[in-house]
Amino acid sequence: MNIRTISTKPFTDQKPGTSGLRKAVTVFQEPHYLENFVQSIFDSLEGYEGKTLVLGGDGRYYNRQAIQIILKMAAANGFGRVLVGRGGIMSTPAASCVIRKNQAFGGIILSASHNPGGPEGDFGIKYNVTNGGPAPEKVTEAIYARSQVIDAYKILEAPDLDLDDLGKFQLGSLAVEVIDSVEPYMQLMESLFDFDRIGELLSSAKFGMCMDSLHAVTGPYAHAILEQRLGAPAGTVLNGLPLEDFGGGHPDPNLVYAHDLVEILYGEKAPDFGAASDGDGDRNMILGRKFFVTPSDSLAVLTANAHLVPGYRQGLAGVARSMPTSGAVDRVAAKAGIDCYETPTGWKFFGNLLDAGKATLCGEESFGTGSNHVREKDGLWAILFWLNILAVRGESVEQILQSHWQSYGRNFYSRHDYEEVDAAPAKELMERLRKEAPDLKGKQFGNYQVEYSDDFSYTDPIDGSVSQKQGLRVGFSDGSRIVFRLSGTGTKGATLRVYLESYESDASKHNQDTQAALAPLIAIADEIAQIRTSTGREKPTVIT
């Protein structure tokens, strides 16, 4: 087994986004492309010689080939041990769990999250640091800087390893251990939730549940925990076998792409509870019988009911949400007398708050919720949290939300996504908004007067780092607001996201249709940003 040093040239497009580097599979298959980025990760790190690396992915197309390459590069670069998921499979939250449990130096996660898979789909790679969380900006910036000057990478000449069975192997001086990542993750869940109460609920003839894993990574975890450990009936987990192309579907747990689950929960014989997760297992969607829970409301409900869950009965240090997420959790935090932090989009911004003990629960409107148990958002954790609440309260999902709105008022909230629009006009739209933002204050749009208009900037309260240009905010005097952002998770064109929020304290108005309640703001958003004119789209691709 010889270590080879391969000459290479930089690729100009290897700048990580909010969740690592995501490109089409065909881009990653270009000669040296994956190797360049992996070597750039290793070259930007210090002190990893002989240390442990965690490696796994969501099982999408090219996952297995990429893992074999990374193993040989880790061996050539001096890592001491790699823990790799059986079959190359490891959910993102489970990877964070394994990193923390084994005090690993870091981890490499292969996923493009909720993006489509298959030979014509997307692939992704990101580096997680010692705390189990996504690399902070200073690390990703160092990786990108290295990728722009790289001239060689190191790789071990060796045959591929059999990753389908548990076991230990030697790859040069590197010890490789193929592990079952479900077991440590399940043990962590057992330490947080009342499995006895949840088990009673799931095995009751009076309660029905449906979990759609969308042929993505959570299938093995959901089968093991919900059906085998907690006693839910066989068939509770749908689409539980991970497939390289996610069965031809789009592994994004929202009302559009998780259509099979939505049809079941809105059908004539709907179960009491429905849930879905995404490609790599870090997102979640929660449904009741003919009832959708927005991710913003979900975070608020979990915060308000955390005292019912064993792992959080001691109280919450604080909560954190991304800026575009609705202010529903802010009201819960204020009533509870705990701090609520507003961060940019991207889970990495929660890491410092969690490590410093400033926050316990975190959430983003993009179907991501989590806590200090790991340093990633965690779809199955959120589903178990909801099941624990349902088991204790003995009420339906809708009843819990109605009661919550009675206590805190309702934040009507929606996100309109314009996917795969031409990048140039989308960027021009945002630049125009940045220029016009200072002049919007005081302007009247129908019954709405602009109270503030700015480009969100965040100063990390722990390390003082500053993140600018995180989204255009237009806030109105009645507390309503509109936010405009370009997403950093797509690989084709640009995704323009428009977030709309309006608060209603009058309980008699809580049951009106969300889009109807937000109709005036939807019209104002188009007037301010000229969305239809700029994008050529008459309506959003996805509304959640």
90 phi, psi to nearest 5 deg: -165, 120
E strand map for 27-173: 52-57, 81-89, 106-110, 122-128, 152-156, 167-171
Nearest of 80, 268, 292 to residue 177 by alpha carbon = 80
Which of the following is catalytic: 96, 113, 298, 414?
Answer: 113
Pairing status of strand 494-504 against strand 466-467: unpaired
Cβ–Cβ under 8 Å, residues 370 and 347: yes
Counting Cβ atoms within 10 Å, is residue 514 exposed (0-12), middle (13-18) or buried (19+)? middle
Cβ–Cβ under 8 Å, residues 197 and 391: yes
* 298 part of the active site: no
First to last CA, the chain: 52
SS3 letters for 350-382?
HHHHHHCCCCCEEEECCCEEEECCCCCCCHHHH
Q: CA distances (Å), 295 to each of 129, 324, 357, 503, in order?
A: 27, 11, 23, 16
Cβ–Cβ under 8 Å, residues 94 and 184: yes
Q: Which amino acid is at 485?
A: R
221 Cβ partners below 8 Å, 6+ apart?
91, 94, 182, 185, 186, 281, 380
Per-residue DSSP letters for 434-484? HHHGGGTTT-EETTEEEEEEEE--EE-TTT--EE----EEEEETTS-EEEE
- Give the residue numbers annotated as catalytic, written as ranges: 113
